[in-house]
Structure 1
């Protein structure tokens, strides 16, 4: 790895998934002005996420296929085996 290209100011940050309320503590350099009290009683900066590994369909296995206007049936009718 190249020397001097990585930031030096890593700090503990709470990442909060806003879609399901799950939170986890990690290290980051991302800027934020909001704080939250974590389970250990300390106050940490909080970064709000729209989606994380706890709510993403790929990681949860709850992949839902939404068929709008019968596109899958239309495809199968046109190209499916007879």
Structure 2
């Protein structure tokens, strides 16, 4: 690897505003805003809209798509799927 070509890999805090959850990890993301963390260090903070704490898939609040209704709608629009090829 060439020196000075790769972004700095540093510790960063990602904060999910909607869930009130923050976690410290390593990333190449940068920010002008900082936060004082539990270990006494000051780290850049990146505010995100959604994380595993607030995403419906991970929290179990995901909606199930009504695929049965979609099939009925398709059959009403394009005809019954039980009919064979017309002679």
1:18-73 C-alpha deviation (Å, 9 max, x unpaired): 11110000111112100001111111000000000111001111114699xxxx86
TM-score w.r.t. length of structure 2: 0.66
Equivalent residue number for residue 26 of structure 1: 25
The higher radius of gyration belongs to: 2
Give the 3 Å change call, closer, same or farther, for CA 76–8 of structure 1 in structure 2: closer
Q: Which residue of 1 aligns with 2:47?
A: 48
Q: CA deviation at 1:8?
A: 5.0
Question: What residue ranges of structure 1 are gaps of 5+ in the alignment?
Answer: none
Number of aligned residue pairs:
76
Q: CA RMSD in A?
A: 3.0
